[in-house]
């Protein structure tokens, strides 16, 4: 059906999955890395750097904006994007906490 049954899962599980989905495309990873490298970057420069069509980059930027980890500011005809530190740190905490899980039991089978 292509539709995820979110109601079967708790809020944390859904939040982790939602964040991971935004990270689940190399173009969005590349955009994030570029914004960290330059701190700020105009949309058109991202299009040149990454090599996908302008509407495609715009769509990826929109998903990153929806999650809140980037923000954009209009500068004339351009839009300058950068990382939203507050949201980035919250997101980082959520994922690092998940990744730092340890085995709770001694039982094992494989």
Partner DNA sequence: TACATTAATCGTAATATTGCAATAAAGCAA
Partner DNA sequence: TTGCTTTATTGCAATATTACGATTAATGTA
Contacting positions for a copy of itself (CB under 8 A) = 4-6, 8-9, 13-14, 16-17, 20-30, 32-33, 36-40, 50-52, 71-73, 75, 80-83, 85, 91-92, 95-96, 98-110
Strand partners, 56: none
Q: Do residues 27 and 50 make contact, with C-beta atoms less than 8 angstroms apart?
A: yes
Q: Do residues 28 and 22 make contact, with C-beta atoms less than 8 angstroms apart?
A: yes
- Least distance CB 92 / DNA (angstroms): 21
- Least distance CB 101 / a copy of itself (angstroms): 4
Residue from 19, 31, 35, 61 that binds DNA (CB under 7 A)?
A: 61
Dihedral of alpha carbons 69, 84, 35, 12, sign? negative
Strand order of the β-sheet with 78-83 is 41-42, 78-83, 70-75
Among DNA, a copy of itself, none, the one that 66 touches (CB under a kind-dependent 5 to 8 A) is none
Residue from 56, 66, 89, 97 that binds DNA (CB under 7 A)?
A: 56
């Amino acid at each position: 059906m292509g539709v995820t049954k979110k109601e079967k899962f708790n809020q944390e599980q859904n939040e982790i999955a939602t964040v991971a989905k935004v990270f689940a495309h190399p173009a969005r990873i590349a955009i994030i890395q570029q914004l960290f490298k330059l701190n700020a970057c105009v949309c058109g420069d991202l299009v040149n750097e990454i090599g996908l069509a302008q509407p495609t980059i715009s769509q990826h930027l929109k998903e990153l904006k929806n999650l809140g980890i980037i923000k954009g500011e209009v500068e004339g005809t351009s839009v300058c994007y950068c990382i939203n530190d507050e949201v980035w740190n919250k997101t980082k905490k959520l994922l690092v906490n998940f990744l730092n899980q340890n085995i709770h039991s001694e039982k094992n089978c494989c």
